[in-house]
Amino acid sequence: MQLGRVLGQVVATVRSPGFENVSLLLVQDATAESDPEPETFVAVDLVGAGNGDVVLMTTGSAARVAAGDRTPTDRAVVAIADSVIRHGTVTYRTA
């Protein structure tokens, strides 16, 4: 699993079967925020995340299972983080 920060939505009017009722999000790797160009991904949103949210993503076969076996996906948002604690210090907390 990986932490990410939602940057926005991806809008696609023509979609493959299985994607009709899901939102697609543009998510940036939250663990690489000090990187001048952190990696960004498109992920299927399964929890209703919004811009700026820190989210937990699954990848590979775990993402396909979470999104439904018939939905071809490599990355899925499965949780919205309330807080992130690193080495005993809160590094993120929702407002």
**Cα–Cα dist 52/69, whole Å:** 29
| Average pLDDT in the chain | 87
The CATH class, in words, for 2-93 is mainly beta
The SS3 call for residue 30 is helix
At 69, the pLDDT band (50, 70, 90 cuts) reads low
Question: Which pTM value belongs to this model?
Answer: 0.85
Torsions phi, psi for 53 (to 5 deg): -65, 145
pLDDT digits (tens, 9 = 90+) for 21-66: 889 999 999 887 677 888 899 999 999 999 999 999 998 877 777 6
